[in-house]
Chain A
Amino acid sequence: MSTVLDRPTTTPTKGGGPRPGTPEKKRWGLTIVGTIVALVFLAPYLVMLGGAFKSRQEILRVPPDYLPENPQPGNFLSMWGTPETPLPDNLLSTVVISLGGTALALVAALPAAYYTARHSFRLKLPFMLLVLITQMLQPTVLASGLFREFVELEINDTWLAMILVNAAFNLSFAVWIMHSFFATVPKEIEEAAWLDGCSRGQSLRRIMLPLVWPGIVTAVIFTFIACWNEFAASLILLPTDTNQPLTVALTRFIGQYESAWQYVFAVSIIGILPVVALFALIEKHLVSGLTAGGVK
């Protein structure tokens, strides 16, 4: 008995990547490679962070320094009152458009996702196909049509226009991801709740909601980030500087002759940090939602 146990384990562990049997040394070697890869992916954002703390003179110095010599955290305060762009308005635009777009997308997507996951009807496949095709379209290619439509409706250059655009083009992701979560909840659970005297609304709130919550959170966060980062449609549909979101306003700091790079980077830092934090929360659900189940 003990002889069997004492025998050194020499089963080949090729193929599926290092398993517990792999020597520690090799795994730490991978960590070193991983650190280099991480630095490559972070490099632009480190340049951004350093630049946000440089003074105007220092960021235009020839040759440049890698790190700020005399860090200027004051850039994060003074950027709100520069002549280039009304930054407080731009932040407000980004926040209002993102919240409005997300709310509208959710209100439209939630009932559709629930119903298509629970019931079969003749037009279900055509509907899901329509949703899928919308997911692959982008406002970029429809910019001139959207512009003409909103001019006719007299809502061009308003937050409402961008709320509608963002909600419509992100609706499909929200429908897909929530549909897939609703579909995993067995019908029997819901029916059991009805038998126990729950109303349809009660069973939705008490039984379904907790089970599909991760799907709703993923839909909300992803839509919010997509609205937050939107650029092409805002560029065409929002000509007035006070209506423009951060992504469009940012380009105003870059002039043909003089650029306020320290502000470009300070604005970018506050534009990027919140969405990266949110994105990390939903990363594991994204692939299945974005590929509509094309990859399992």
Chain B
Amino acid sequence: MASARNTALRRQARRQTTLQALPWLAPALILIGGVVIFPVGYMIYTSFRDLSRFGTDRGWAGFENYARVFGLNHLSTVLTNTIIWTVGVVVMTVLVSLVLAQFLNKRFPGRKILRMVIIVPWAASVVMTSTVFVYGLDPFYGIINKFLVDVGILDEPYGFLKNATSGFYSAAAVAVFVSVPFTTFVVLAGLQTVPHDVLEAASIDGAGRFQTYWQVVFPMLRPALAVAAIINIINVFNSLPILKTMTGAIPGYDADTTTTLMFKIIQNDRQIDTASALSVVNFVVIIVVIGIYLRVVRPMREVSA
């Protein structure tokens, strides 16, 4: 009997602590509930409704919107593009960042200034950065084209953004450019966790530079790389402004990812119901990636319950 009362008391105490926490968490919970969770639900609901171009709800649509998405002629191109875009940009970003972080981890005069300079593409608006490339890659007045001709890489200016294929890869290069700073800083933070005595031990044991890197440093970078890769996968998959500004003017869907296609369905076709169905598919992809992130990186291990 005494133990039963204890349990009851404990349960009551627990309920009280949760109740006490509520006022402190309420503003955050209301904001997340109203502007993140509710729209997710509303989006899923909309994906099963039949909406007119002006937003009038014409009733239940079953899986019609999904059928329309999966029946799009250009869907296979867009899916292939999405995979090339996400995997290609993230792999290139990580490779460049590994080299750059290794470089920034050395001591030399001006290192601090270089760190500040590398921040610029990270802080700057991605739309603003992309428009410079739209201008620079123009075949007539573009400065990047002129530079490539002047240094002898091109014989004559090339209309990089005039066809879908070269436009898509140019946009991917810009995506790498704007993703490298964040990734480099994460890898750099990882490099700083490699203890000096481990490196010394390796060199005393006669390990060469590359051997030290691959067998000692690189394995210790794994957590940092996992974080950087997964956060980049989500950002690059969700990226709209680069493709929108660089290849948005090219007719057709040969340079689209599922994200830019979804925006075209909202803006050009005004089909919020079809766009919602595609968004739900995108959302599921992102949730899967987040799940992998939580399993692999276990980012919250420092939070005590």
Contacts and interface: CB of A to CB of B under 8 A. Distances in A.
Contacts of A17: 105-107
Interface string B186-213: 1011100100100110111000010010
Contacts of B279: 141-145
A124 B303 contact: yes
Contacts of A138: 234-235, 238
B39 A42 contact: no
B34 A164 contact: yes
B209 to A, nearest CB: 7
Given A122-B14, A165-B35, A295-B190, A148 B42 contact: yes
A265 B128 CA distance: 8
A112 to B, nearest CB: 4
Interface stretch (A83-91, A198-206, A284-292): A284-292
Contacts, number: 345
B134 to A, nearest CB: 7
B224 interface: yes
B92 interface: no
A295 B227 contact: yes
B241 A231 contact: yes
B266 interface: yes
Nearest to B122: A279
A215 interface: no
Contact of B142 (A64, A115, A142): A64
Interface string B49-83: 00000010000000000000000000000000000
A271 B245 CA distance: 17
Contact of A236 (B44, B136, B266): B266
A47 B143 contact: yes
Nearest to A34: B114
Chain A CB count within 10 A is highest, among B31, B123, B126, B196, for: B123
Contacts of B234: 136, 138
B214 interface: no
Contacts of B189: 287-288, 295-296
A197 interface: no
Main SS of the interface on chain B? Answer: helix
A184 to B, nearest CB: 11
A190 B279 CA distance: 47
Interface residues of B, number: 122
A8 interface: no
B282 A141 contact: yes
B135 interface: yes
Given A17-B107, A34-B108, A34-B111, A111 B200 contact: no
A51 B136 CA distance: 10
Contacts of B119: 276, 279-280, 283
Interface in B1-60: 14, 17-18, 20-21, 23-25, 27-32, 34-36, 38-44, 46, 55
17 contacts: A37-B103, A41-B120, A45-B124, A47-B136, A63-B146, A108-B27, A111-B24, A111-B25, A125-B300, A142-B40, A144-B46, A144-B266, A229-B125, A229-B126, A276-B124, A294-B223, A295-B227
Interface of B: 14, 17-18, 20-21, 23-25, 27-32, 34-36, 38-44, 46, 55, 100, 103, 105-111, 113-129, 131-136, 140-144, 146-147, 157, 177, 181-182, 185-186, 188-190, 193, 196, 199-200, 202-204, 209, 212, 223-224, 226-228, 231, 234-235, 238-241, 245, 249, 259, 262-263, 266-267, 272, 275-276, 279, 282-283, 286, 289-290, 293-294, 297-305
Given A134-B36, A149-B42, 7 more contacts: A108-B27, A119-B21, A138-B235, A236-B267, A254-B134, A276-B119, A288-B189
CB-CB nearest 6 A-B residue pairs: A145-B43, A145-B39, A168-B35, A15-B199, A279-B123, A115-B24
